[in-house]
Amino acid sequence: MKTVRSIASLRENLASWRQFGETVALVPTMGNLHEGHMRLVEQARALADRVVVSVFVNPAQFGPGEDFATYPRTLDADRRRLTRADVDILFTPDVDAMYPGGIERSTVVRVPGLSDILCGAARPGHFSGVASVVTRLFTIVMPQWAFFGEKDFQQLLIIRTLVRDLHLPVAIEAVPTAREPDGLALSSRNQYLDDEARGRAPILFRALSACAERLRAGERDFRTLEREGLAAVSAAGAVPDYFAVRTPDALAEPAKTAREFVVLTAARFGRTRLIDNLQVRT
């Protein structure tokens, strides 16, 4: 596996592969790779001739007071894992390469509506930071496929929308959430939890599962389900941002006749904000 920092040298490698008609998959990450990321890499490896994994902690998607400075950076361990997974290129650009005009003066990609609700309401500017960096990664790498986890469900929909709107020739592949045995969704932020908070964190999965069960049993009073979800998360000592039953295509409020849902939640355990979701078909 090669580690490449510059866009120019990444493009040289890509051009030499394309000369031979080889296909390319991209797995965008912020590093600190865990089993969830490795599932994306495995699926990319199974589909494409060549796999590029980017590790870039994107300052544009962190708000003031968020964890940009302390976000875990573990490049050596990441490199070892990716080498074992037979990745072709680890792309680790620096901030100046990704935002040559400086972040404040750079072109912004924003998906209105979807970016302003749920996590977007709690983290203003977050999704335009995500959309702006993912668009750059797509135009730099020009992969046939790009892989994202369903854990960041709202992010996934925003990326699908920008790909459609900007006519980008990349297929977005979604990979199911990897979980601990007690249901906690894998996340780099889980390591911020102390033992006590780690013990409480599976409430997110339990509350989502209980809501999914009630939807499958025919409950269609979404307000009541949301209130029950919020109460369960609060009772476990977390501070919920939201607990919402939505449509899986647009995150809109579902009709009573709907058969497909996504239930999403975000909550703070002390200073650590965790998110999770479950898709439900009835």
- Residue numbers annotated as active site: 37
To ligand PAF, the closest distance from the beta carbon of 258 in angstroms equals 27
Residue 30 touching ligand PAF (CB under 6 A): yes
Distance (Å, whole) CA 188 – CA 175: 17
Residue 40 touching ligand PAF (CB under 6 A): no
Among 134, 141, 175, 245, binds ligand PAF (CB under 6 A): 134
Residues 6+ apart with CB under 8 A from 183: 202, 205, 206, 209
To ligand PAF, the closest distance from the beta carbon of 110 in angstroms equals 15
The maximal CA–CA distance of the chain, rounded, in angstroms, is 59
Q: Point out which span in 24-32, 110-118, 195-203, 246-254 binds ligand PAF (CB under 6 A).
A: 24-32
Among 41, 119, 130, 162, binds ligand PAF (CB under 6 A): 130
Query: How many CA within 13 A on the CB side of residue 50?
Result: 23
Burial of 186 (0-12, 13-18, 19+ CB in 10 A): middle
Residue 93 touching ligand PAF (CB under 6 A): no
Beta partners for 44?
Answer: none
Q: Are 242 and 211 spatial neighbours (Cβ–Cβ below 8 Å)?
A: no
Burial of 22 (0-12, 13-18, 19+ CB in 10 A): middle
Residue 115 touching ligand PAF (CB under 6 A): no
Closer to ligand PAF by Cβ: residue 28 or 254: 28
Long-range contacts of 211-214 (CB under 8 A, 24+ apart): 211/243, 211/245, 211/263, 211/278, 212/263, 212/278, 212/280
Q: Point out which span in 22-30, 42-50, 89-97, 164-172 binds ligand PAF (CB under 6 A).
A: 22-30
x/- string (CB under 6 A) for ligand PAF, residues 48-77?
Answer: ----------x--x----------------
To ligand PAF, the closest distance from the beta carbon of 28 in angstroms equals 4
Closer to ligand PAF by Cβ: residue 129 or 254: 129
Residues 6+ apart with CB under 8 A from 213: none
Residue 36 touching ligand PAF (CB under 6 A): no
Residue 152 touching ligand PAF (CB under 6 A): yes
Closer to ligand PAF by Cβ: residue 19 or 107: 107
Got the DSSP string for 214-278?
HHHTT---HHHHHHHHHHHHHHTT-EEEEEEEE-TTT-PPPPTT--EEEEEEEEEETTEEEEEEE
Residue 119 touching ligand PAF (CB under 6 A): no
Closer to ligand PAF by Cβ: residue 29 or 265: 29
Beta partners for 263?
Answer: 245, 278
273 φ, ψ (degrees, to nearest 5): -100, 125
Q: How many residues bind ligand PAF (CB under 6 A)?
A: 10
The residues in 232-261 that bind ligand PAF, with binding defined as CB under 6 A, are none
Q: Are 148 and 172 spatial neighbours (Cβ–Cβ below 8 Å)?
A: yes
Q: Point out which span in 28-36, 102-110, 139-147, 252-260 binds ligand PAF (CB under 6 A).
A: 28-36
Residues that bind ligand PAF (CB under 6 A): 28-30, 58, 61, 130, 133-134, 152, 155
